[in-house]
Copies of this chain bind each other. A is one copy, B any other.
């Protein structure tokens, strides 16, 4: 059949969706063993739905990653990336809300078939691990689980896939590369970092003076306000000072390179310049994805606690404690969250030279603006 003709092949909903396969994939252990438990169907379907969504997450994440892998990221692709990351967060909301469906099965209902599942466990979800590695979680930063590497529960082929994936560039890394290439840190005679440093200095000096001279603050209040400023001050230091940053990198306290951090800061501060609008949205969405993942881990831990109390999970782990801990420890993109610490009010921002502004705007606007 010609390709043209293939296009006209009649498609039926149930063939297209492979419903025969899909709807025959629920095999209840409890039924097989002759002691049917009504809620095992729910248990299976909830997990299957998770896996289907994970497949979509991977599909979208990989497409975004690939469009950033090249040396140059076309502006057109950033909008598409924003749209896909947004899709991912919408799916993540479902993943979180779906736990409510799981919780309609009470702990007692679960006990009707739980024993027959040993040692199956969510720890054996290959796709979930794949998502984590894709985003940038490294083996050495993982919590260990029963003293064994996380990878040990997978088949040889799957282990290789995960190892290769981790060897390549993750989302965190391609985004870092892209940020480091930003031409706007030194642009048409405008140097961002010294300008920002100056603004921070002026702001802190002026604020401290104003606080000291205020006639309405008590000494205690003055002290408190200055203390707050001071702490922020030391945080700023870590970015303004490349050496301090290098130190933090070495200690594993941050993961994003000095130059990429500064670039992300610039994008946040000047996000309203046309050429930075999409990059700003992109970074923001990436932080959303990471935050939702953390939220899902936490909610998941809560659900496991509720279902099993402090019982040992079917995977042999003390499920709740492990899961709870990953919510904090497996936070992948936390450096982007921390950029908030470095922001200063718009009114304090150094004004961009006209020439720079023009360079950040549209070709059309500059030529044709009325």
Residues of A bordering B, CB below 8 Å: 1, 3-14, 16-19, 21-27, 29, 32-35, 38, 41-42, 44-45, 47-49, 51-53, 55-56, 59-60, 63, 72, 75-76, 79-80, 83, 86-87, 90-91, 93-94, 97-98, 100-101, 104-108, 111-112, 115-127, 183, 210-211, 214-217, 221, 224-225, 227-228, 231-232, 235, 268-269, 271-275, 277-278, 284, 287, 291, 294-295, 298-299, 302, 305-312, 316, 337-347, 358-370
**B18 and A268 within 8 A (CB):** no
A139–B293 Cα gap in the complex (Å)?
33
CA distance A86 to B347 in the complex (A): 25
Contacts of A52 in B (CB 8 A): 22-23, 45, 48-49, 52
What residues of chain B lie closer than 8 Å to A26, measured between beta carbons?
18, 55
Residues of B within 8 A of A347 (CB): 35, 112
Tell whether, in the assembled complex, residue A340 and residue B91 are in contact, meaning their CB atoms are under 8 Å apart: no
Bound-complex Cα distance A294 to B327 (A)? 14
Task: Please pick, from B87, B214, B337, the residue contacting A306 in the complex, using a CB distance under 8 A.
Answer: B337
- Set of chain B residues within 8 Å of A27, measured between Cβ atoms: 16, 18
- Residues from chain B with a CB closer than 8 A to the CB of A123 are 13
Q: Contacts of A232 on B, CB cut-off 8 Å?
A: 311-312
Q: Give A366 to B362 CA distance when docked, in angstroms.
A: 10
Query: Is A362 a contact of B307 with CB atoms below 8 Å?
Result: no
Q: How far is the CA of A111 from the CA of B342 in the complex (A)?
A: 11
Are B47's CB and A17's CB within 8 A?
Answer: yes
Name A288's closest neighbour in chain B (CB-CB): B103
